[in-house]
Amino acid sequence: MSPEFRLRYGCNPHQSPARVYIKNGELPFEVLSSAPGYINLLDALNAWQLVRELNQATGLPAAASFKHVSPSGAAVAIPLSETLRKIYFVDDMELSPLAAAYARARGVDRMSSFGDWIALSGTVDVPTAKLISREVSDGVIAPAYEPEALEILKKKKQGKYVVIQIDPAYQPDLTETRDVFGVTLEQRRNDRPITRADFASVVTKNKDIPETAIRDMLIASITLKYTQSNSVCFAANGQVIGVGAGQQSRVHCTRLAGAKADLWRLRQHPRVLALPFKPNVKRPDRDNAIDQFLQPDVTDAEKANWSNIFIESPHQLTAGERREWLDGMSDVVLGSDAFFPFRDSIDRASKSGVKYIVQPGGSNRDEDVIAACNEYGMTMVFSAVRLFHH
């Protein structure tokens, strides 16, 4: 490890020179293959914090798929059903617990995860490396790598795949600074852990929170802690199923996250599982075709291209079929990084199977939001912890 190294450029090619360095001591990571860029490191350092905290909070191996400094997916190691194995394109693979966590993190929103940065909480084993090797990705950060797994990753992208090993014991200073337009901002870094104790204040008539919901509240809340604000996260069955990041309006966050959660659910529809792809269609092209197939407003011109993808043109789901299938989604957790100013987000959440909500509370309209949750029979927790991240 070294105190600094030069980068080819910053966020954009014209932003040069650029470097990464540490003021005291040595950098807490080592580059084992290729050379990361400025944005790679922003993703890597944020994603590592997320999976480290997920692992500490749940005791399970954790993985995240990051794009542009926000997670497109995050998950812990829960075994996959046959349906999830199929829609995540891993039904032909043997998965270790860490590989299962990454399959979930990558699989929930495969279009957003295209060209992702990967973070893994534990030693990267061969099954995880094999899974990474077949996906379009920019790099990975983890605390350690099995020798054979490292060799697999070093061969990816003709040796240009970035592999970073981070010191798991590293703890930064409590004070962090940032320069914006020549002005230095300083604050205490967000080192407050998310714990089960944050979910003690239940404000709705329904007080029931099973252990699985507690786990998913931890996942949603920790994911929000490292997601660009405003943000809302839907989680279910040990993984994120939809993230709405960087929106100016709270309800727009909820609509975006809910739409992604709906697509995740719709991809499990038998009609989608049976789509007649031509044999040589690659996984990214399948992802794009499935996403288009599930859009209700596909044009005739777009459908004309389906002849290059499908053996025969499939019939799209009707509005009634979509609604019937979405109504089967249940026990979803919704987390919000700040309070809900209106009940509109609750109304939208009800359409995507949300049963449990965790949010800080503190709005002038908290009573309206609580009343909306009571109407839907939801359980809502006020954590009193805002999780803005900028």
Say which residue the tokens 């270790």 belong to.
Answer: 96
Provide the CB-side half-sphere exposure for 124 (13 A, CA).
30
Q: How far apart are CA 257 and CA 89, in angstroms?
A: 22
List 40, 46, 230, 237, catalytic entry: 230
Tell me, yes or no, if 230 is annotated catalytic: yes
Among the listed residues 14, 207, 315, 390, the single catalytic one is: 390
390 in active site: yes
Place of tokens 């999830």: 84
**Distance (Å, whole) CA 40 – CA 118:** 10
Residues 6+ apart with CB under 8 A from 13: none
Spot the catalytic one: 46, 55, 67, 260: 67
Going by C-beta distance under 8 Å and a sequence separation of 6 or more, which residues neighbour residue 303?
313
Q: State how far the Cα of 192 lies from the Cα of 172, in Å rounded to an integer.
A: 13
Burial bucket for residue 330 (CB in 10 Å: 0-12, 13-18, 19+):
exposed
14 assigned to active site: no
Catalytic residue numbers read: 67-68, 230, 390
